[in-house]
Structure 1
Amino acid sequence: MPQDILAAYAEEADALIPSFEAISSADVLAPVMAWLPSTPRRIIDIGAGTGRDAAWLAARGHTVLAVEPVAGFREAGMRLHAHPRIRWCEDTLPSLARITETGFDLILMVAAWHHIAPEDRPPALRRLRQLVSPDGRLLMSIRHGPAPPARTGFASDAVASSELAIQAGFSLLASRRVASVSVANRAAGVTWTWLVLRAV
């Protein structure tokens, strides 16, 4: 992720934390709920923010590695969502160089893909494929529409992104276009596409 975007998130962390926490994980994950594991599994949440979704998953029995590069979000997450089944890691795509373990049953990536530069997307997906177990799943949301000027996003196309994922060793199980859960984003015309991918 570009350093200027990380710096913008760090500067705005105190203001963003309440807005992240105000959104329900059940609402965010509703479009892909059918693909979430029903029994305890190992999950990695990339771009975990305040740990809102990691906590929701941990409460359902899963073990979650929450990966978040912004210190303010990690610190808030450890304070707000302390849980024995959540571990935190400071890292970022495309390399995720600090993560040494593999074999995750599920990779969750919510609202992060549009911050990955186009040239970094193929290596990012190859790295994700290394992390997931055989037949494991990758659930990722792709933003369509404007991003805040300070936290700019790169244009993201669901079809192109799914093709890159297939080249990296995934198969596409589903693609779902949905409205934004955030009231402010909906007002700005933001929509999302969820990709459900399986390692092959």
Structure 2
Amino acid sequence: MSRDATSEQLQGMESTAGYGEAAEALAEQYESVTFAEVHREVLHLFPTRPGTVLDVGAGSGRDAAALAAQGHRVVAAEPTAELRSLGRRRHADQRIEWTDDALPELPGLVAAGTRFDLILLTAVWMHLDERQRTLAMARLAGLLTGGGRIILSLRHGPVPEGRRMFPVTAQETTGLARRHGLDFLHHAQREDPHGRPGVSWTYLGFERDETRDVAGA
């Protein structure tokens, strides 16, 4: 997306724009770094005992496969058919439940009624506009078990041509989480694991208070 693209143009694009056409190359890119390297800032927040995990925007399945290998029951939600197909093939040795579902509403997962001990969103949040982020946080909070956690990463820097991304901040995201009954756990920043110029990341962790009702659930 060029620098002079308007907010209206961005909002008119699909959040998954550009991913289907580049699925093969993107899958190779995702798989070129390990789960542990990508999530090094928040590894201590992941559950140590097997539980239920939702990977939203699972891409090639790198993270879903790593978590399944640790004994978790993993649901991988990926709206791009090409990436979903590649992920199924690449990680066929792991027990991953793939589903075609997407933020902000996650209608299939909400209808299923499953609750998760961990929800992971890697390089997803910046694809949603402000209205969608508000709705998405409510949906995510409602899918957590009591004491369940959300771990997400925020991308900062230039937007690749043909993609839809919005500026996202730790402050706004933390405020949204708190409004939906989630407690702040962790904030970290780091360089891009792929070494792309001008790209950096913020990692955030939140936890659902077991004693508090969740707004929007």
TM-score clears 0.5: yes
Q: Which portions of structure 1, spanning 4 or more consecutive aligned residues, are displaced by more than 3 angstroms?
A: 1-5
Residue in structure 2 matched with residue 195 of structure 1 by the alignment? 204
Residue in structure 1 matched with residue 129 of structure 2 by the alignment? 117
CA RMSD of aligned residues (A): 1.4
Aligned pair count reads: 197
Residue in structure 2 matched with residue 8 of structure 1 by the alignment? 18
Report deviation, 1:149.
2.1
Structure 1 unmatched ranges of 5 or more = none
Aligned counterparts of 2:80 and 2:34: Cα–Cα separation in 1: 21
Aligned counterparts of 1:165 and 1:155: Cα–Cα separation in 2: 17
Seq. identity, %: 39
Inter-CA distance 32–132: structure 2 relative to 1 (3 Å threshold) = same
| 1:65 counterpart SS class | strand
Report deviation, 1:16.
1.4
Report deviation, 1:13.
1.1
- The structure that is helix-richer by fraction is 1
User: For structure 1, which segment, 15-24 or 40-49, has the greater mean C-alpha deviation from structure 2 after superposition?
Assistant: 15-24
Aligned counterparts of 2:29 and 2:194: Cα–Cα separation in 1: 9
Report deviation, 1:84.
5.0
Aligned counterparts of 1:47 and 1:10: Cα–Cα separation in 2: 13
Aligned counterparts of 2:95 and 2:51: Cα–Cα separation in 1: 11
Pick from 42, 45, 50: which aligns with 2:60? 50
Q: Deviations over 1:1-43 (max 9, x none)?
A: 9753424111111221211111211101111110111111100
Residue in structure 2 matched with residue 66 of structure 1 by the alignment? 76
Pick from 60, 78, 81: which aligns with 2:91? 81
Counterparts in 2 of 1:12-161, with a 5 A limit? 12-83=22-93, 85-99=95-109, 100-161=112-173
Inter-CA distance 134–113: structure 2 relative to 1 (3 Å threshold) = same
Structure 2 unmatched ranges of 5 or more = 1-10, 210-217
Aligned counterparts of 2:76 and 2:12: Cα–Cα separation in 1: 20
- Letter in structure 1 aligned against 2:134: P
Inter-CA distance 135–88: structure 2 relative to 1 (3 Å threshold) = same
TM score, norm. by length of structure 1: 0.94
Report deviation, 1:169.
1.6
Conservation of the 8 A alpha-carbon contact between 1:122 and 1:168:
no
Aligned counterparts of 2:36 and 2:191: Cα–Cα separation in 1: 14
- Letter in structure 1 aligned against 2:157: G
**Who wins on radius of gyration, i.e. which is larger?**
2
Report deviation, 1:119.
1.0
Aligned counterparts of 1:27 and 1:159: Cα–Cα separation in 2: 25
Aligned counterparts of 1:149 and 1:83: Cα–Cα separation in 2: 34
Q: Deviations over 1:39-84 (max 9, x none)?
A: 1110000000010000011111111000000001100010000145
